[in-house]
Amino acid sequence: MTETASPSKLAFRAATDADVPAIVALVTSAYRGASSRAGWTTEADLLEGARIDADVLRADMARPRSRVVLSLRDGGLVACAHVADDEGAGYFGMFSVVPPLQGAGIGDALLAECERIAAREWQLPVMRMTVIDVRDALIAWYVRRGYRRTGIHRPFPYGDLRFGVPLRADLRFEMLEKGLPS
């Protein structure tokens, strides 16, 4: 993927193995612990521990039609997301923006770039993701960007420490979906 600039002076590029430590740190800071509370996407009241495993991240990066997209401003990492072809549908996940920069449009630009990859590069008809269904503010953010709640739920992987340590017994994922332009 070539580096491209958006109107907000962001550049996007595909992650490499050398980026893995920075990605793990960014994702953890956006979702877990005290640093995540500087933004609005924290899961600190729901989960603790790891948010992404470096080995799982490397495996995702190595899969065909799977890309971890980095968003850079002035050469520094400010956001990341994973986009992949999941059985003929786009998959969007691991979406993370540096907590103090959340709400500044970086997430909108990165989501649009991932949708562009899925629609234009891979000609996929739809983008899907799973979100913990008690995360009402986050789900509302996606709904405002054209995603719809499907009502399809998946269990949270309790006991799998790669996803963190749940602080509640009622966690589950809901699939969100958005049609992509052809």
Model pTM?
0.92
pLDDT for 2 equals: 41
Distances (CA, A) of 178 to 92, 112, 141, 148: 11, 12, 13, 6
Tens-digit pLDDT profile for residues 74-120: 999 999 999 999 999 999 999 999 999 999 999 999 999 999 999 99
Amino acid at the residue 181: P
Domain 4-179: top CATH class: alpha beta
**Beta-bridge mates of residue 166:** 47
Give the residue, 72 or 7, on which the prediction is more confident: 72
Domain ranges across the chain: 4-179
Overall average pLDDT of the 48-58 stretch: 90
**Those residues with Cβ within 8 angstroms of residue 151's Cβ, 6 or more apart along the chain or in another chain:** 174
Report, as an integer, the average pLDDT of 173-180: 98
